[in-house]
Amino acid sequence: MSRTEAASFRITAGPRGTAAAELRLSGELDLASARMLRSRVRGLLEPDRGVRRLVLDLAGLTFLDVTGLDAILETQHRLAPLGGIVVLRGPRPNVVRILTLLRLEEQLELEP
Residue 78 pLDDT greater than 80, yes or no: yes
What is the three-state SS of 13-42? Answer: ECCCCCCEEEEEEEEEECCCCHHHHHHHHH
What count of residues does the chain have? 112
What's the mean pLDDT in 91-101?
91
Neighbours of 22 (CB within 10 A): 18
Model confidence at 112, pLDDT cuts 50, 70, 90, reads confident
Per-residue pLDDT tens for 3-58?
655 568 999 998 888 789 999 999 999 999 999 999 999 988 887 788 999 999 99
Q: b vs e for 55-76, b when ≥16 Cβ sit within 10 Å of the residue's Cβ?
A: bbbbeebeebeebbbebbebbb
List the domains of the chain with CATH numbers.
3-111 (3.30.750.24)
